[in-house]
Amino acid sequence: MVRKPPRRSLPDSLLTIDMESIVGRLAKNRVIEMDSVIIVMHERPELNAPILIEGLPGVGNVGKLAAEHLVEQVKATKFADIFSKHFPPQVLLDDDGVIRLVNNELHYYRGEGNRPDIIIMTGDYQGMTPDGQYELSHHAIETAKDLGVSRIYTLGGYGVGKMVEKPRVLGAVTDIELAEEMTKHGVIFSKGEPGSGIVGASGLMLGLGKIAGIDAVCLMGETSGYFVDPKGAEAVLKVLMSLLNIEIDLTALTDKAEQIDLIASKLKEAEVAEPPKREDLGYIG
C-alpha cells in the first residue's frame, strides 16, 4: 500500500524553460544555444503522491502502446513537453503537413476515491546514446522528485524471439518487498529472466529512482520483438489495472492484437509453403 503524503505543488526551483522564455530569447538574440534537455511546463499540477508511469518506445513498443492507451482511456491532461538534442534531428508531420519537433510528454490524471494520482510519460524516442539515456532519465527522476512522486512503474517488452499466445508479465524491482507485492498482482519473477538486464529508460529510471529513494518497478510484457505488440501491452495494462485499482477498455488493443496475429499467421504460411519443384534431370548419364 502506497502512503499518500499531503498534496504538494511543483516548486519554482525546478529548472524548466517555458515557451515564452524560449521565444523571447530567440527574438532578442536570433540565435539560441539549445540546452541538452528542455522541459516546457504548460501547467504545474497539484497532485497527491502521484505514481509515475513511463512508457517509451522499446522492444515490441509494448511500453509505448500501453502508456498511450492509458493516456487515452483515463483522458489524462498533457502538462509538459520534453525536448532534447539527444533525440533524432527530426520533425514529424500531421495529416495537414504541419510539423512538430520530436519530443517526450508528461500527462497527469487525478484519481478519484481510492485511485491514485498518476503521471504518464510517453514519447517519440528514447535517447540515442548512453549519455543521452542517462541525462534524459536523470531529468525525469528530478522532475518526479519535485512533483512528489511516490512510486515509479516503467513499462517495456521482454523479447523472446518467438510468437507468444499468452504473454507473461515479468518484473524487476528496487526492493524485495516490492517483489512480494507485485507477485500478488500476477507479476512473474523468473530466475535468469531477463538474462541481459534491462536496457534504456525502463532500466535506468529504476536505478536512478533507487538512488533518489523512490520505489520503482519495471513491468515487462513478453513479446516476439518482431512486431509492434499490442498483446504484450494488453498484458501489462491488466497488471496495472490491478495495481492502480482502475478499469479501462482494452478492446482497441485486442483488435490490434488480432490483426498482428493474422499477419504473423500469413507470414508463417509463406515460410512453410511447398518449395518449387525441380526439373527432373535423372535421365542424364
Which residues are CB-neighbours of 106 under 8 A, at least 6 positions away? 78, 79, 80, 81, 82, 119, 120, 121, 143
CB 277 within 8 A of CB 90: no
- Stretch 189-200: mean pLDDT, rounded? 88
Residue 274 maps to a domain: no
Q: Please check the confidence at residue 281 and state whether its pLDDT lies above 50.
A: no
Q: What is the pLDDT of residues 249-269, one digit of tens each?
A: 999 988 887 787 677 666 666
Residue 283 maps to a domain: no
Residue 160 maps to a domain: yes
Residue 33 maps to a domain: yes
Least confident window among 8-22, 54-68, 141-155: 8-22
Q: What is the pLDDT of residues 62-121, one digit of tens each?
A: 999 999 999 999 999 999 999 999 999 999 999 999 999 999 999 999 999 999 999 999
Residue 157 maps to a domain: yes
Q: What is the pLDDT of residues 231-241, one digit of tens each?
A: 999 999 999 99
Q: Write down the pTM of the prediction.
A: 0.82
Task: Quote the strand ranges of the chain, DSSP E.
Answer: 37-41, 51-54, 77-84, 91-93, 99-101, 104-109, 118-123, 151-159, 169-173, 215-223
Least confident window among 35-39, 46-50, 107-111, 224-228: 224-228
Residue 98 maps to a domain: yes
Chain centroid offset of residue 55 CA = 1
Q: What are phi and psi of 72, to 5 degrees?
A: -65, -40
Residue 9 maps to a domain: no
Specify the CATH number for the domain of residue 191. 3.40.50.10900
Handedness of CA 12, 148, 75, 94 (dihedral sign): positive
Helix H or strand E encompassing 174: none
Bond into 194 cis (ω within 30): yes
CA angle (235, 236, 239) in 5-degree steps: 95
- Tally the domains of the chain: 1
Give me the domain span that covers residue 26: 19-269
Share of the chain above pLDDT 70, in %: 80
Q: Please check the confidence at residue 273 and state whether its pLDDT lies above 80.
A: no
Q: What are phi and psi of 199, to 5 degrees?
A: -95, 145
Average pLDDT for the chain:
86
Residue 280 maps to a domain: no
